[in-house]
Chains A and B, each alone.
Chain A
């Protein structure tokens, strides 16, 4: 195979490669030269050999092309020793039906290598991938491995995004979750592993490394208030899914937007590319290579924004060219930071570590536009008096800036003048070039400065933000938006994030007279209850001791005083005591299971369980109202995890009036019992009540279940978890169960906090009694 494009010295390698793909030939020489320059002798041999294997694999030209192009660079980061492990992985994919994943795998290699850095890490990563492949490759009718893993190619396509946000451990957990839930569902599996589905993103968020804004909101809010005497809504945005155009912090009248997560900033690894040219090493001693923690990065952003809010006045943008505007922004940023550092000198440490140090010679003025580069250098020079720059303009303007700031706060217009001068002085022909030098010029704790400009003429893109969103007529929202709750998965001992959607609505209303009729029917019972209520109503008396004047003599103290008196010491005159009655302080939440099974006739009488429940609840509500405890009533049923309905019957602030009675009268039973979610939702109301004791009564007639949950234990275990959560919130959950076979499960959920009422006909009588004895 003699061809003109293969130079003679590489011919021997070309023969060895023995590749017939026409697309390989034109790139061979370049790849080979790079390989020869970076790889060792054995490395080159292995390179050719493995490339030859990939060419003969029967998967087209893609794998060999990618390998030849990328390997030398990958070998540089990971070392040549990593190759056997990688090839082994490819071989395993090749032997299984997963050949289609080889190309994405090879394509992802350079990015993965950059993230993983070490061969050990790479091995961990390959193990995760292979384990994933094995578990998701489908088998049918006992024949092993018939279908390819649906998610594997997607995983490789996403892996660079994933590794940028997850540690290897996090990646493992994320993959594990996907395999666990979507093993048998190819379409969902693909959605999950291509980061399309909501829970995929939610799990990713959970596993992320770094400092999350949600965990630190309070701290940052205090920072803003305490140090800057400023306060605003902090709104997170996600930088995870927008690779091309990373969002920048900004603020407007709705609040301050910050990224949802910040990793610790380590100047020496990857993050500041300036290490490559050694800018960090030269004039700086080691002590300066400090790690800036995520929380300090948030504080830097907030300090910058707070400084803008304090010292920046908006100026008109229309008279400036885009370059001028950029320069004004850079100088204004420097000015507010300078003032902030004057206030809090400790900020300099953080700013100086986060601000990039563009190398003076990094930008090629012939081919690139150096506008940003020059401004970033100027900004660095202002921030850091030990800057390494020699450029006379940079030095001159840094000094002019400092001179302006020496005796006053200066102002935005003054900065604008200085910026215009700087642009004029340093202008070059190449500034107009489309290729702008970006490296090391982005100061990531600075906001986008949208607030410092005003426009005389309308029609710039900024206005688009203020346009009211049009709501389509059909889009109007009925009822409250859903609330999402986690659900406990006992098999994996973890929560499924935002798994259940709970829709809360007002229970439809019926006729209140029905309830009054029910109460009249049970008048005799009510009378008996009344007696019991009267018994518990005047609560225990509490003794108040050490009173100079009181209703009774406190003998203990009186004796002590007498002894003091006899022995010549000052006697305590407070020898009396008095009594006071202590208030009852219980908040109650009554949660009713309104599932389909309530429509059955109760054993031993001709009423349905629903009717009996209604009578019982009416009596109970009447009794609690008499006692004066704050209480609420709600019902629930569910139709899969996407539709758990929580029906509001009585709220804490409502009294036991006709409207509440009407809702109770209209009570209907439908669908299934997803108890955990309903309890969590009810708990968030009960939790807000101010009471010493909080009691949640759950009235149910069967075990938790739902149509989309095949594993019967799952919802039982979830309900048990919910009870534990309630306990942690200081809520005492108590179950009244009408299922005579409940012994099997109810203790699992509620421990010993339950009663089973076998004879449902007795419910109206038992329920209020039970409540009274519980709260005595």
Chain B
């Protein structure tokens, strides 16, 4: 039997609620409803799931999805060893066995036919048929399915099937409001309020450019990076250029505009 405790979240992660999402999640978990979290990159999706797992005291198994992922990467496969073959559970199967929260991060990155394997686990059946092994796995009563994705850069090819979408309850996350974001920066990095407010202002300038040359604005995560650098003694303008501007764009015009925004904000 797999050791349950290794998947436990031991320390309380910092999470700043933006609304009533914590209570809603708890309600969804109480009914073991599958949850989908949408939102731009770096707005706190994974942090939220981690926090909820901690709060509920349940183990959390995270899978980062990618294009080359196959159904057997999730479910498990037979391996060969000296004595013949041996079955190895995939992360999804493990979660269903031990009663963990299974979190599939960036689910759209996986191919659509792969994601179909989660269907029987996410409706009333709550079972996982392991055809290769010939086992019908009943999910543990604590098991819950959570997926996340970023609708921002989704192309026509990268979308969820309707049949997948309609098995989930959903949260729509966005970057927090300026006041909340300042608070997050203060708490996460110990930065003072004034500097945090300046960083948030730059972040918002970039978010206004979304769709006008930028695919995504500056995320809360990047703002945290910038704050961390500044806290570590880096000159604020240099830190902002390094953590906020250079990562998100190669476009000279946008770079100039954002550099100017940094100068304008720091005076």
On A, residues with C-beta under 8 Å from B are: 218-219, 221-223, 225-227, 229, 295-296, 299, 343-349, 546, 548, 565, 568, 570-571, 573-574
Contact A548 B206 (CB under 8 A): no
Cβ B253 vs Cβ A346 within 8 A:
no
Q: Nearest B residue to A226 by beta-carbon distance?
A: B205
Q: A226-B205, A346-B263 are in contact. Are A219 and B256 (CB under 8 A)?
A: yes
Q: In the complex, which residue of chain B has the Cβ closest to the Cβ of A218? A: B253
A226, B266: Cβ atoms under 8 Å?
no
- Contact partner, A225, options B209, B256, B260, Cβ 8 Å: B209
Contact A221 B263 (CB under 8 A): no
- In the complex, the answer to whether A346 meets B213 with C-beta atoms within 8 Å is no
CB atoms of B264 and A347 under 8 A apart = yes
Q: How far is the CB of B88 from chain A (nearest CB, A)?
A: 9
* Residue from the list B68, B72, B79, B209 in contact with A226, Cβ < 8 A: B209
Bound: A349/B81 CA distance, A: 72
B201: chain A residues within 8 A (beta carbon):
343-344
| A225 and B266 contact, CB distance less than 8 A | no
What residues of B have a CB within 8 angstroms of the CB of A226 in the complex? 205-206, 208-209, 257-258, 261
Q: Using a Cβ–Cβ cut-off of 8 Å, how many residues does chain B contribute to the interface with A?
A: 26
A290 to chain B, nearest CB (A): 12
What are 5 residue pairs bridging A and B, where the CB atoms are less than 8 Å apart in the complex?
A: A225-B209, A226-B208, A229-B208, A346-B266, A346-B267
Q: Given A219-B256, A222-B253, A570-B79, does the pair A346, B70 have CB atoms closer than 8 Å?
A: no
B241 beta carbon closer than 8 Å to chain A = no
Partner of A345, one of B79, B256, B265: B265
State whether A565 touches B266 (Cβ < 8 A): no
Q: Are A574 and B264 in contact (CB under 8 A)?
A: no
Q: What mask results when residues 224 to 240 of chain B are scored 1 for a CB within 8 Å of chain A, else 0?
A: 00000000000000000
Determine if B81 and A568 form an interchain contact, defined as CB atoms under 8 angstroms apart: yes
Q: Is there contact, CB below 8 Å, between A345 and B212?
A: no
- The 4 nearest A-B residue pairs measured at CB: A345-B267, A346-B264, A344-B264, A226-B205
Q: Which residues of B come within 8 Å of A, CB atoms?
A: 68, 70, 72, 77, 79-81, 201, 205-206, 208-209, 212-213, 253-254, 256-258, 260-261, 263-267
Write out the residue numbers on chain B whose beta carbons fall within 8 Å of the beta carbon of A295.
256
CA distance A296 to B205 in the complex (A): 17
**Is there contact, CB below 8 Å, between A222 and B70?**
no
Q: Which residue on A lies nearest to B68, using beta carbons?
A: A546
A583 CB, nearest partner CB in chain B, Å: 14
Q: Which residues of A contact B72 (CB under 8 A)?
A: 548, 573
Query: Chain A residues with Cβ under 8 A from B205's Cβ?
Result: 226-227
The answer for the CA separation of A344 and B208 in the assembled complex, in Å, is 16
Report A-chain residues with C-beta under 8 Å of the C-beta of B77.
573
Residue of A nearest to B71 (CB): A548
Contacts of A546 in B (CB 8 A): 68
A296 partner residues in chain B, CB cutoff 8 A: 260
- Cβ contacts under 8 Å, B79 to chain A: 570
User: In the complex, are the beta carbons of A222 and B265 less than 8 A apart?
Assistant: no
Once the chains bind, are B253 and A219 in contact (CB under 8 Å)? Answer: yes
The answer to whether A344 touches B265 (Cβ under 8 A) is yes
Contact assessment for A345 and B264 in the assembled complex, using a CB-CB cutoff below 8 Å: yes
When the two chains form the complex, which single residue of B80, B81, B257, B267 contacts A222, counting CB atoms closer than 8 Å? B257
Q: Is the CB of A345 within 8 A of B70?
A: no
A568, B267: Cα distance in complex, Å? 62
Q: A222-B213, A346-B266 are in contact. List 15 more A-B contacts (CB 8 A).
A: A218-B213, A219-B253, A219-B256, A219-B257, A222-B212, A225-B208, A226-B206, A226-B261, A227-B257, A227-B261, A229-B208, A299-B260, A349-B267, A548-B70, A570-B79
Specify which chain B residues have a CB less than 8 angstroms from the CB of A349 in the assembled complex. 267
Q: Which residues of B contact A223 (CB under 8 A)?
A: 257, 260
CB distance from A691 to the nearest CB of B (A): 18
Q: How far is the CB of B196 from chain A (nearest CB, A)?
A: 15
Closest chain-A Cβ to B125's Cβ sits at a distance in Å of 25
- With a cutoff of 8 Å between Cβ atoms, the chain B residues found around residue A229 in the complex are 208
**Residues of A contacting B253 with CB < 8 Å?**
218-219, 222
> Given A226-B205, A573-B70: A348 and B212 within 8 A (CB)?
no
CA distance A346 to B254 in the complex (A): 18
Within the complex, what minimum Cβ distance (angstroms) separates B262 from chain A?
Answer: 8
A394 to chain B, nearest CB (A): 25
In the complex, the answer to whether A565 meets B80 with C-beta atoms within 8 Å is yes
Q: How far does the alpha carbon of A225 sit from the alpha carbon of B256 in the complex, in Å? A: 14
Residues of A within 8 A of B254 (CB): 222
Q: Tell me the nearest residue of chain B to A571, going by C-beta.
A: B80
Residues on A with C-beta less than 8 A from B265 are: 344-346
CA distance A222 to B257 in the complex (A): 7
